[in-house]
Structure 1
Amino acid sequence: MTDPTVDRTELTGLLSQQWDAIAALVADLDEERWRTPSPLPGWSLFDVLAHVVGTESWLLGEIPPAHDPIRPKTDVKALPHVRNETGVLNEIWVDRLRPLSGKRLLELYREVTDRRREALASFGDTEWQAETVSPIGKVSYGRFMRVRLFDCWMHELDLADGLGVSVDEGGPRAERAFAELVPSIGRSVAKGAQAPDGSRITFELTGPLTMTLHVAVDGRANIVDVLDAPATVMVGMNSGLFTRLRGGRTTADEHAGEFTISGDTELGNRLVRNLAFTI
């Protein structure tokens, strides 16, 4: 079935822009800066880019480089931040690329993303709509590329935060990527925060991506356009903080004073502490 929500021309263009934004962000790093810790457990800035290289290489049908026998072999399955088979594959790529210099990694990144651009440009509607395995299950290839845009956008923020610099978090790339954070919020509300039946919740997000999200809990927690009753709790914060909380990059306790809660403050505090759905 054709997925009308995934425009091939638009999305491939946004992916290309996203890859360029990442390259520009790390273009002038020296070797010491490459090894700066990122917000992701166990990963440096080098490792974040190595992960992107690995995933895009895998999408080109490639396998990780052979293990260097001179280096100690890492049991990636035993690492505390590796939670599933996708995490294992990610970690293998990162580990195998670590012996490279940052300069060589960036060259490899540019080579791989150029080849990915060429591959995507060769796709027709049949390839774009073909069912494929992705981190969110079997979906169309185009839908998978929306996930890739989200992943790469999040890693741009990881790199920026690790470097202590600001990047533009608004615009079409951000809007498309941010949309991946929204549909599953009901799970965080119901299972994470344990919001009781009858709860009505509003998230008011200020820029760079301004929006209002309403969630109604009636057996299940669902996003709704309009609440049918006054909000039980209203949570306000900027979209940048919301993104990082949803992405598991930080915690609410590290950002006291950067969000507001009105109404049921106990529920509100549970909500902001249980927003993470990925890391």
Structure 2
Amino acid sequence: MSLHPTLQPYADAWTHSIEAISELVQPLVEAEWNRRTPCPGWSVRDIVSHVIGLDSEMLGDPRPIHTLPRDLFHVTNDHQRYTEMQVDVRRHHTAPEMTSELEYSIIRRNRQLRNESRDPGAKVRGPLGAELTLEESMRTHAFNVWVHEQDLRAALGHPGGLDSPGAHVARDVLLGELPRVVAEDADAPRSSAVVLDVHGPLEFLRTIRVDIQGRGTLETAPALGPAATLALDWETYVRLACGRVTPKAVADRVKTEGDPALTAAILRHFAVTR
């Protein structure tokens, strides 16, 4: 048996991103592990700890028994507390300890993928005891690891990977959230359309149509006379959608047309990751 074809793109995306992360952090001296990243509250060490933790979850390892400090300002809900456990438990690990554990987790995860024969619809454990399909789990995992690769690249001054396999997974994951953002969060008018025009390493044009019931759908066909149009580069799109920057901070990189109240509302709700 081998990995199901539906799952292969997510395995490829994870492999590309995790190898990039390994190459980025391998030569770092101790002080560089403490550099701030665009991910709120997290250093380079914290990002790598989180990535190791994500892979340990995929491997089915038991979660660490650890008590979080009370003064972590960026931890405000149960999901963040769940995530922070894998990070905080490694906050005092040295650079060699971090790179060794990362490499060991990559070896184990590669072995798991080589032996993975389950159907994409098989149910697996998710965060906080949630149940999801193997396909959903692997897609989310590939997305998360790629986003954190970008966090590390920004922190360390090594741009790249914006058109990698993980970038394509991220595009589809983020676009999947847009109908809700436009139709529900931004409350776009019924029977209207919003156009998103993205350029750069990944280029795409998408239309979000809102029907008479207020439901949003994502389409590839362009809209005539949309209520609003947003044009921006792919890197800015990712940074906005993942909550790494505010709309105000990148206002010069986002061009809008149409209803200004609607475009402002869309940008206000653009961040879709927790």
RMSD: 2.2
Q: 2:209 aligns with which of 213, 216, 221?
A: 216
Shift of 1:167: 1.2
Aligned runs of 1:3-22 on 2, under 5 Å? 7-22=6-21
**How do residues 6-155 of structure 1 correspond to structure 2 at under 5 angstroms?**
7-67=6-66, 74-75=68-69, 79-126=72-119, 128-134=120-126, 138-155=131-148
Change (3 A) 1:74 1:110: same
What CA distance in whole angstroms lies between the structure 2 residues aligned with 1:120 and 1:85? 30
CA 276–135 in structure 1, closer or farther in 2 if over 3 Å, else same: farther
Q: Equivalent residue for 2:259?
A: 264
Matches of 1:79 and 1:191, distance apart in 2:
31
Does the Cα contact within 8 Å between 1:205 and 1:238 map onto a contact in 2?
Answer: yes
Q: What amino acid is the match of 2:257?
A: S
Contact kept? 1:200, 1:227, Cα under 8 Å? no
Q: Aligned partners of 2:39 and 2:100: how far apart in 1?
A: 23
Check whether the contact 1:40–1:249 (CA below 8 A) recurs between aligned residues: yes
1:96-128 per-position Cα deviation (integer Å, ceiling 9, x unaligned): 1111012311110110111011012111134x5
Q: How far did 1:179 drift? A: 1.0
Distance (whole Å) between structure 2 residues aligned to residue 31 and residue 204 of structure 1: 41
1:248 is displaced (CA, Å) by 0.9
| Secondary structure in structure 2 of the residue aligned to 1:98 | coil
Tell me, in whole angstroms, the C-alpha distance in 2 between the residues paired with 1:191 and 1:271.
10
Question: Is contact 1:64–1:96 with CA below 8 Å preserved after alignment?
Answer: no
Match for 1:194: what amino acid? D
How far apart, CA to CA, are the structure 1 residues paired with 2:65 and 2:168? 38
Q: Name the SS for the 1:257 alignment partner.
A: helix
Name the SS for the 1:63 alignment partner.
Answer: coil
- What residue in structure 2 maps to residue 70 of structure 1? none
Distance in structure 1 (CA, Å) of the matches to 2:10 and 2:210: 33
**Structure 1 unaligned spans of 5+:** 68-72
The SS at the match of 1:182 is helix
Question: 1:130 is aligned with what amino acid?
Answer: A
Q: TM-score, normalised by structure 2?
A: 0.89
Task: After superposition, give the CA deviation of every residue in 1:59-96 in whole Å (9 maximum; x if it has no partner).
Answer: 223234455xxxxx5346x7443354332222111111
Q: Distance in 1 between matches of 2:164 and 2:17?
A: 12
Residues 81-90 or 19-28, more deviating:
81-90
Structure 2: which 5+ runs fail to align?
none
Q: Which amino acid aligns with 1:185?
A: L
Is 1:173 paired with 2:169?
A: no
TM superposition shift of 1:269: 2.4
Could you give the per-residue CA deviations for residues 148-189 of structure 1, whole angstroms, max 9, x where no partner exists? Answer: 000000000111112233112003331123211111112211
Q: Equivalents in 1 of 2:106, 2:79: separation in Å?
A: 21
CA distance in 2, matches of 1:232, 1:256: 20
CA contact (8 A) 1:192 1:275 kept: no
Equivalent pairs counted in the alignment come to 268
